[in-house]
Amino acid sequence: GDSVTQMEGPVTLSEEAFLTINCTYTATGYPSLFWYVQYPGEGLQLLLKATKADDKGSNKGFEATYRKETTSFHLEKGSVQVSDSAVYFCALRSIQGAQKLVFGQGTRLTINP
Amino acid sequence: DVKVTQSSRYLVKRTGEKVFLECVQDMDHENMFWYRQDPGLGLRLIYFSYDVKMKEKGDIPEGYSVSREKKERFSLILESASTNQTSMYLCASGVSGGTGGNQPQHFGDGTRLSIL
């Protein structure tokens, strides 16, 4: 079945550091790919998405590129801020089965000032 | 603005109780979902519904049931609560069909349920 694998956390960085959170997937066909963010005490919010190969999603300084050849959708940000501290989830939306989301296990990110 | 509302942020119940978690969306979405979130496991789908009175099992339906009598409301029911159902429960909604696959799901703020 479809699956998503994220890099193990937690990740701790200093403010203004470069961020990469790795995400790879296994799926039939060409799923849509998403990054969601969960701030403390809140539900999940969509951060960015990509719907076909080589698409780049971007939002709030974060970027991720849909790489079909490596089945990856790594999240990057050039200079992180304390306010980016949250849990990040990579997810895919299958072309089968009522288009439900399949999530990775989540990566907790802490940014120190 | 898009809104998914879960009835409780925190809930404490006892083993063996029947527990109801309620979710309401105001976006006229066809699809609604219930997930549970546990550390290290991400989000796992319990049940989803693609129309009124329609439901399908997700990956971990055991011990749960759902009800969707109106399009905007989706209820999760723990028939006889057990301690291993202590978790964060998240409701989501989304469009279906055609280009719906390109659209995100919208989440509520979650209900943290403790079973004692």
Query: What is the rounded CA–CA span in Å between residue B112 and residue B8?
Result: 8
Residue A23 has pLDDT above 80, yes or no: yes
Percent of chain A with pLDDT over 70: 96
Which pLDDT band holds residue A42 (cuts at 50, 70, 90)? confident
The three-state (H, E, C) secondary structure of B5-72, written as one string:
EECCCEEEECCCCCEEEEEEECCCCCEEEEEEEECCCEEEEEEEEEECCEEEECCCCCCEEEEEEECC
- 3-class state of residue B111 by DSSP: strand
Which one-letter amino acid corresponds to residue A58?
S
Residue B72 has pLDDT above 80, yes or no: yes
Give pLDDT, residue A96. 66
- Cβ atoms of B63 and B18 within 8 Å: the answer is no
> Taking Cα atoms as reference points, which of B85, B111, B89, B74 lies closest to residue B16?
B85
Of B42, B45, B58, the CB nearest to A89: B42
pLDDT digits (tens, 9 = 90+) for A46-72: 999 998 899 999 999 999 999 999 999
Interface of A with B in 8-27 (CB under 8 A): none
Residue A44 has pLDDT above 70, yes or no: yes
B110 to A105: CB separation less than 8 angstroms, yes or no: no
pLDDT digits (tens, 9 = 90+) for B2-60: 689 999 999 999 999 999 999 999 999 989 999 999 988 889 999 999 899 999 999 99
Over residues A6-11, mean pLDDT: 88
- 3-class state of residue A83 by DSSP: helix
Of A32, A98, A105, the CB nearest to B42: A105
Of A36, A51, A98, the CB nearest to B102: A51
CB of A46 within 8 Å of a chain B CB? The answer is yes
The count of other CB atoms within 10 Å of the CB of residue A37 is 20
> Taking Cα atoms as reference points, which of A13, A18, A15, A1 lies closest to residue A75?
A18
